[in-house]
Amino acid sequence: MSALNGIRVVDVGLLVQGPQAGQTLADLGAEVIKVELPLMGDMARWIPLSMEDLRTPYFEACNRGKRSITIDLRVKEGAEIFHKLVDTADVLVANFKPGTLEEWGLSYEVLSESNPGLIYAMGSTFGPEGEGANREGADLAGQAAGGLISTTGSDGGPVTPVGATIADHIGSMNMTVGILAALFSRQETGKGQRIDVSLLGGQIYAQASEYTAYLMTGEVPGRSNAGHPLLPMAYGILETADGHIALVGVLPDKREEFYKAVGVPELINDERFAPIIYTTEIRLELFKILADGFKTKTTGEWARILDDMEVRYAPVNDYEQAANDPLVLENNYLVDLEDINGEIKRVVGSPIKMSATPAKPSVQAPELGQHTEEILLEIGLDWDAIGQLREKNAI
């Protein structure tokens, strides 16, 4: 038994924001039908690893365990069959430019008239309201407009985006939360509702503490400077003999032992570093003093030292190091699954652990249109009708 057993999701999302929400629901047990444009499919299918390796990590990561049907929503007959499919669904997931589904006659008002329990989840870049809301964008636009990029790097250096599609991911998680809340609400009311999330809104919410500091003071918190502008303490990144380590604060009762281990015992009597909270300038001075000592030992050696004194830290892993970290593997954050050919593949697992209805990630994404006929037969079409749809290029 899975948490979302019996829930059907129609996913017409593109790239990450919509599809990853559908992926999360699939991991939690929902049946997810991915609707794609005939011959083209999700744009994520066209972002290969390289011109020599045509595997597509964005598509594979966000669409495992779904079934794929091809429907051209721009064609009258395609829109009609899509409407028929959505009538069988609990949830619709999409992240087109605002107004696109409405232009095709597939608005929430139209679809909910025949399916009043429908949860209509829409993702956008900048939100559904206001001037410029219908501008197209992607993850980078969300990071930029939401202020995240302005916080990265160090004072005086160039700004740089986060090296992952973090705005898309946060948007997808917000969409998933909205969908689950709407499903719960529907149990009481019997009615669905429309949900809107955006990359911009997700970025603002993800930085709620930092924005609150700005709203309280009128001052922009500033760059991370290898730490965090609102956490001016022994909190930041230090270079080691073979990499880097994240120091996550040193409590006052640990400082003497810590300073001795780093080779600067005199700091325990330095009044600059006596407070629990420093200014940003004092934090940067402290890290300059600590820098030479940390370079004398490897990350592994520092890990053992900090473990012994119960000081919080983490190694700064690259993907290869994280993928081989026992904590990652033992918690099934990466998991080995068998594909249809009997081969074992390592894939990203679910970060959500549930004791009674555990998430069950799937190993592979569907081929384009792999289940088109199967799904059309399920919703009541016969072979003649399917043939006519093909003749009209609707599927």
Q: Which residues are catalytic?
A: 168
Residues 6+ apart with CB under 8 A from 155: 222, 223, 225
For the residues of 204-218, what is the DSSP string, one character each?
HHHTHHHHHHHHHHS
Residues 6+ apart with CB under 8 A from 287: 226, 227, 236, 238
For residues 280 and 154, what is the distance between their CA atoms, to the nearest angstrom? 12
Query: Which segments of the chain does DSSP mark as H helices, in order?
Result: 17-27, 57-63, 76-86, 100-103, 108-114, 139-145, 166-189, 199-206, 208-217, 255-262, 280-294, 299-308, 319-323, 326-330, 372-378, 383-391
Distances (CA, A) of 358 to 2, 24, 355, 389: 7, 12, 6, 39
Cβ(92)–Cβ(25) below 8 Å: no
195-216 exposure pattern, b = at least 16 Cβ within 10 A, e = fewer: bbbbbbbbbbebbeebbebeee
For residues 259 and 210, what is the distance between their CA atoms, to the nearest angstrom? 30
Tokens representing residue 219 in the block: 């001052």
Cα 153 to chain centroid, rounded: 22
Tokens representing residue 344 in the block: 């074992």
How many helices and strands in the chain, by DSSP H and E? 16, 11
**Residue 336, helix vs strand vs coil:** strand
Cα 270 to chain centroid, rounded: 43
* Spatial CA neighbour of 91 closest among 195, 172, 202, 15: 195
